[in-house]
Amino acid sequence: MVSGMTVRGTAALGAVLLSVLAVPAQTATAAPAGDGDASVRAGAAEDLAAPDVAGLREVLRTALTQGAPGAMARVDDDGTVHEVAEGVADRTTGRAIANADRFRVGSVTKSFSAVVLLQLVDEGALDLDTSVNTYLPGLLPDDRITVRHVLSHRSGLYDYTNDMFADTVPGFEAVRNKVFSYQELVDLSLKQPLGNAPGAAYSYSNTNFVVAGMLIEKLTGKSVQSAYKSRIIKPLGLRDTSYVHPRTTIAGRHAKGYLPPDVPDGTLTDSTEQTVSWAQSAGAIISSTRDLDTFFSALLRGRLTSAAQLAQMQQWVPVNSTQGYGLGLRRRDLSCGVSVYGHTGTVQGYYTYAFTSKDGKRSVTALANTSNNGTVLNTMARTLESAFCGKPAKAAPAASARVAAPVERYEDIAPGIARD
């Protein structure tokens, strides 16, 4: 329903968007590799307030005033679906954006890659605390870098996208139609030294999930595309999800992506068609709000891995006062004391937030068809508050409203480059 809301019964599973807010529900603690799930936040499933659909719509409308051509969100709430959409999917035709549109999910792909590797752990083909070089001899410069370090962004490997996209639009145009091998991407990273000793610190790097893709292909003997399809897409019945690298197009109905330059001048580049070869297993999946809700709900409900491996995914390394990173999974703590689990995604022309509740019963996926716009990035994070915390409580001005989210200083691509 264009610029509207539909509510209907559904068996679809959910995924929830993450939000960064100033007051944490509980401080994250780092979980040492190999330890038990000591860092998983205490408590079982919370009783959630009803989603604030009007508030969700207002967030999307705000994103439009800040430069997003279109924005949409879907909440799957234990059998009830709320869909909201504002603006356009195509600036040329003026077609309205809708939750039926497919889009590039960017780094949400990392959660898919992590799930495949954890399934391989369940099958006895992989050990999280074994050196990556045991499986891929000679690939990395330090034998101490383990699979766990890679999946938790604690390897120290430099993120090559910092160099690739230092200039946003020229950088994108230089790689839009290029096809890289995994080895070429790793080699770009290794031109720079490790940023820290393996395991010493969290530092987001796309290189880690390029290595994850190499591990998937080495251990399965098949392509990443085949692994996603046979292990996740088909079992969950994800009708809109695909991995088509190096094809440049998005099949079927989809939202176009629009990339602004580093210096705002009103010019937008249509960035829809590209190989996404610069990311591959770190960011090249195509999906929809419905499918991402289904994926993250299934993950947190234990449908994709054993309980033991799901617990491993939730051994949180602190990112900041309100965020933790596990194994290909983010945790965000909201102002109402609820924590949500999923991933954010940035790829040229698309911002995605996809998160679910602890029990997987409520999920939200939100999409704005722009990127390189820190204001929109922060605004879209507020969809999590509306989806999981409900309407803000009415109170006196001095104590009212929720604490504003701190500014996100970087995106999932070129994380070392701060852009307002």
Q: Domain limits of the chain?
A: 53-389
Whole-number pLDDT of residue 30? 36
Considering the chain, what is the average pLDDT of its residues? 89
Chain-centroid distance, C-alpha 249:
21
Is 226 a known active-site residue? no
For residue 264, name the pLDDT band (cuts at 50, 70, 90): confident
Whole-number pLDDT of residue 50? 98
Catalytic residue among 107, 111, 152, 203: 107
Higher pLDDT, 42 or 304: 304
The Cα–Cα gap between 213 and 234 comes to: 19
What is the chain's length? 420
CB atoms within 10 A of CB 31: 22
The Cα–Cα gap between 321 and 102 comes to: 33
Greatest alpha-carbon pair distance for the chain in Å reads 62
Interaxial angle between packed helices 206-220 and 109-122, expressed in degrees from 0 to 180 and rounded to the nearest 10: 40
Interaxial angle between packed helices 289-300 and 109-122, expressed in degrees from 0 to 180 and rounded to the nearest 10: 30
Whole-number pLDDT of residue 405? 54
CB atoms within 10 A of CB 35: 10
How is residue 280 annotated by DSSP? G
Q: Which residue is it, tokens 């994108």?
A: 172
CATH of 53-389 given 3.20.20.60, 3.40.50.2300, 3.40.710.10, 3.40.190.290: 3.40.710.10
Helix locations, 372-418, DSSP H: 374-381, 383-389
CB atoms within 10 A of CB 265: 8
The Cα–Cα gap between 402 and 7 comes to: 27
The string of pLDDT tens digits covering residues 355-391 is: 999 999 999 999 999 999 999 999 999 999 999 999 9
